[in-house]
Structure 1
């Protein structure tokens, strides 16, 4: 709009150069050179102190106001000059009217004189010559008057052409300016109405967004309460799990299990060797069947122990103590077998010692069964708690891993 106003101002200027101004950024070959120079020469526009015109810059409202003020001043000056010209023409026409009136009066006087002359001619033939002379003078006067009238007509025509030329120039009147300002004001009102509609639509959208945000906040609050409840449940689960095992305990149990498996493998191997030697020593006394039974019983005890390890990893530490007792009993048995090997025993002595060994094995087996029952009860309790806290899958996975590891160890020892 600012650029359009500037172009309109320049288009309304049609005066000639009053003085030459050279702008460094407006060459003579530029398409707007004449318009810029005319506007500058008329005093409607002016360049910048650095000698540039900056024709591509946007016009500010201040610059537009200054140009319009200069245009109004120029228009007022043109109106004043036009009024002076009209006044002069009016005065000149009035003077010509007076001259014409005087000529008409002269013609009327001449006509009267002609009438008098005719009368005189009728009355006096002598005066005819004088009358002819006056008539000649009158004709000359009329001719001169006709020339003067023709010249006056030409002057009036030239003045009328000059007036039309002035009218043809695109000067902005106050009415035209008021009309354009009224149009601009109407457009501004339309834009304001459109802006009000847009603001109303925006406020409606903002209201919807606020409602959505409130719904989201309600959902977030609900989720927060749910998360808080879950945190409480997890805290309870964590407290329950803390009562059972930690990562360090698990690693310790794995290490103990590995050590226990290795020791039991070694013990089983040594025990097998000793049983073999014992079988050789007792072959004459029919002890092979009893030793097979003892070996089978011990193997069953070992299998029970491995089953206990597979069933619950969290009680392996307690089981380690019991296995230690079993190991001590087996060591005692091994020592007794070594003593039997070193000594020559009778069948009765061997039978007595074997009975004593059977008693110990039965005691160990009974203790192992009690431990198994205790472990089963503990496992049931753990499973119930883990099922309540939805962690049974993880527990089963851990047990499966430990069971697989122990099974692999057992397979390696066989």
Structure 2
């Protein structure tokens, strides 16, 4: 049992360092203080004979533990829940809810708990976001928007699950029927298929660090591999790709949008506990182009091919260096890169945790599909370059404050005088439940 637990912990750590991150990769091994309520709860389970503690028969309840150590104990309690009376079962359910993420990462599904609440688990979040933009060509503007998300995860059987997320936006400074946007942005089933982890339906796509795309795809995703993690995706992007054309003087001559049919291959490899390497290839078929004369993206073909490389590495305690580079086969505006430093990281589960970052961006228009960065939608399809800095803080558990600032300009004008300066500030608060 100890050997199995050690192997599970090792697997969790390997997955955690290889995962995609848009901010500083967070350390999942967060200490749980000895005074945390779950320590008393686990002690009661030990007294009830549901768990037996460590191999030497001791519980060691006077020292801090990692959340994953707690999760292994709770997993054992769930396996022995038939010994529990009604009061003890409530304690197990509360612990399973508290450590649900760690249990899932250890490969221990919380099906028993989910079945007791109708076989479906719900959670969600509410976000309020303020943006203030100062753009040369348009002057100053601001908006205040609210977003609510409800997640539902249901067990189909022992292997397959259904995942649904309903999202609603509201412009809080406008009235009427045109100030809201509601949709199912995640709607899929997930389970093992032909030796892979398959996701079928609508799912989010944020490969490497989101520089090329941070969006949703209607299609299929297959993930496999241990040391070298491979992801294959094929489907239609849920959003439309924007484009702008300029004439020889640098003035805008045409604008338009296009649907994107996407084929994607992604690779991830952890060279050590501190360093992850990432690579991706995107093949985007552009269809239903609107208004663009000819083909803006690469001249002769109705496709856009993009290659991307990236890495993140821990260069000092609590300090991570992250960088990526993307190149497309377009005739111009074919390069995108970013490099930055992330210090610590705000973890919504830990009151008082915080993180800061600063990154330099140079994102040209035909090297991305739907970039994640704060200014990516500000220019209406233009590329951009500049510096983004940000700060996140958790004043109370499950409440996350975040502020970001970008100072830069467009980078796809023909003449230097036609470049547009841009400054953008964002402040937001998120509540998780």
TM-score category, normalised to shorter length: under 0.3
Larger radius of gyration: 1
Which is helix-richer, 1 or 2?
1
TM-score (norm 1): 0.17
TM-score (norm 2): 0.17
Which is strand-richer, 1 or 2?
2
